[in-house]
Amino acid sequence: MKRACLILGLLLAPAPGIAIASDRGPPPMPEWQTEPGRCTWKWQQAGEIGLWTQVCKLSTGTWRIKWDRQRHAFVEQLDRKMTRIVVQVWPLAPNSGVDTLTTSLAAAGKLDANAGCRLVQVSHRASPRTVAFFMLSPSDEKSLEPTASGEVPEPTCGQYGRSTHGVRYFMTDTRWPDRALFVDEGQERPMFDPGSITLTPRPRTAR
């Protein structure tokens, strides 16, 4: 099975589970697999993020999700070579909300400040009322359309922005106002369960 064969669109069907949860322990292991009989589920927790991930031994190689300490993110790997960031925490300035994300991305060299990109709230899947979903979208929607020759353009808003290459978004939760979570589900069913993602409290600093 090839890992890139079908674009499901910018919004997937509702997924089970809680989007950003507390540290009450792992949610139930998913009942589905990307490739039945060739994939196994593994609960992983690192960098305040927990989620169910798969290891799949397919004809294209071994696919897995691993924690990348340098990037402070979970990344997808094919035969131990990174293909993309799939889940990553981005800090939010105190009392600022999600609007400061574009500034943070530009400062980190991940977004062209002149690209005309903005965060647009979207309805992605069933989730607690405390959770909100946002897509980093170009002001000019036509910039995502295929060219006259049929070529698919590169994402105007960079690797964290809305794209025809797959489903990418940010999640916020009023229970964790100091963080936003970036999620890249890719072009087809991902190697992890987006509905199982949890965030754990940060340790309090001594006063």
Q: What is the pLDDT of residue 150?
A: 60
Long-range CB pairs of 79-86 (<8 Å, 24+ gap) are: 84/159, 84/184, 84/186, 85/159, 85/182, 85/184, 86/183, 86/184, 86/185, 86/186, 86/190, 86/191, 86/192
More reliable by pLDDT, 149 or 196: 196
- The pTM (predicted TM-score) of the whole model is 0.81
Q: Give the pLDDT score at 129.
A: 84
Tell me the average pLDDT across 121-147.
78
Q: What gap in Å lies between CA 3 and CA 57, rounded to an integer?
A: 12
Percent of the chain beyond pLDDT 90? Answer: 47
CA 109 centroid distance within chain:
18
Tokens of 48: 């305040």
33-87 pLDDT per residue, tens: 999 999 999 999 998 899 999 999 999 999 999 999 999 999 999 998 999 999 9
| Angstrom distance (rounded) from CA 68 to CA 76 | 10
Tell me: pLDDT of 88 over 70. Answer: yes
Bridge partners of residue 164, in order along the sequence: none
Query: Whole-number mean pLDDT of the chain?
Result: 81
The answer to whether the CB of 27 falls within 8 A of the CB of 45 is no
- Rounded to an integer, what distance in angstroms lies between the CA atom of residue 75 and that of residue 78? 10
* Per-residue confidence (pLDDT) for residue 194, from 0 to 100: 92
Interval 135-151 mean pLDDT: 69
pLDDT at 2: 38
Q: Which of 55-64, 125-134, 178-187 has the lowest mean pLDDT?
A: 125-134
The band of 144, judged by pLDDT with boundaries at 50, 70 and 90, is low
Rounded distance between C-alpha atoms, residue 54 and residue 41, angstroms: 5
Higher pLDDT, 147 or 88: 88
Q: Given a cut of 80, is residue 105 above it in pLDDT?
A: yes
For residue 21, is pLDDT > 90?
no
